[in-house]
């Protein structure tokens, strides 16, 4: 809880104190013009009022960090080929697009319980049988993923993350976009 509070305060400070996020938000999508589904997904996310940051200097410090959705309405993507953390979008890799889909599903999870940016998140498959039926069909190595996530997250947070990984890997971007519109509008 304390870690979440600190992260929320840090995002709020950076977004209020730094003009870069607003400027960067308008640039996002320039490299997605040939990828209509992902471009529409970004537009839907921005239309919800979610702040979308790409290659932000405060969030993309760790080279291995790919992205994050703060359930206070901020989405961060740290692109693989970013030359520096300056808020400027570069060509999207397959991994960048996977990260976008993963974080977009977290937005759906945020909207599914209450309203967007209310600090509440839930799995889409709350019924255990439905959840495990959904993830069993994935091509991901879920045992390894579960083991890694459980080292740092609670059981429920791990299940939420695994659901987002499976959605990003196996569900088409257009379906994710439809769920954002359905659950968040």
Q: What is the pLDDT of residues 123-164, one digit of tens each?
A: 999 999 999 999 998 989 999 999 999 999 999 999 999 999
What are the distances in angstroms from CA 115 to CA 48, 71, 109, 140, 163?
11, 10, 10, 30, 20
Answer whether residue 2 shows pLDDT above 90.
Answer: no
Which residues, other chains included, contact 76 with Cβ-Cβ below 8 Å and sequence gap of 6+? Answer: 53, 54, 56, 59, 60, 67, 68, 69, 70, 103
pLDDT tops 90 at residue 83: no
Q: State yes or no: pLDDT of 70 exceeds 90.
A: yes
Q: What is the pLDDT of residue 27?
A: 57
- Specify the pLDDT at position 20: 42
Q: What is the pLDDT of residue 137?
A: 87
Summarised one tens digit per residue, pLDDT across range 10-40 is 443 344 334 344 444 445 777 887 799 999 9
């Amino acid at each position: 809880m304390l870690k979440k509070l600190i992260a929320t305060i840090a995002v709020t400070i950076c977004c209020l104190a730094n003009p870069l996020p607003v400027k960067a938000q308008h640039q996002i999508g320039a490299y997605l013009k040939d990828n209509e589904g992902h471009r529409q997904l970004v537009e839907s996310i921005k239309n919800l009022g979610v702040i979308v940051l790409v290659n932000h200097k405060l969030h993309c410090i760790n080279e291995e960090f790919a992205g994050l959705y703060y359930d206070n309405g901020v989405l961060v993507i740290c692109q693989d080929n970013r030359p520096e953390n300056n808020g400027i979008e570069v060509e999207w890799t397959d991994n960048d697009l996977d990260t976008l889909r993963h974080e977009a599903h977290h937005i759906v999870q945020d909207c599914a319980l209450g309203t967007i940016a209310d600090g509440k998140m839930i799995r889409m498959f709350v019924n255990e049988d439905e959840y495990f039926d959904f993830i069993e069909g994935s091509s991901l190595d879920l045992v390894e993923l579960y083991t890694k996530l459980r080292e740092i997250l609670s059981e429920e947070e791990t299940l939420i993350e695994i659901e987002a990984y499976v959605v990003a890997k196996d569900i088409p971007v257009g379906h994710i976009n439809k769920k954002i519109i359905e659950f968040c509008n």
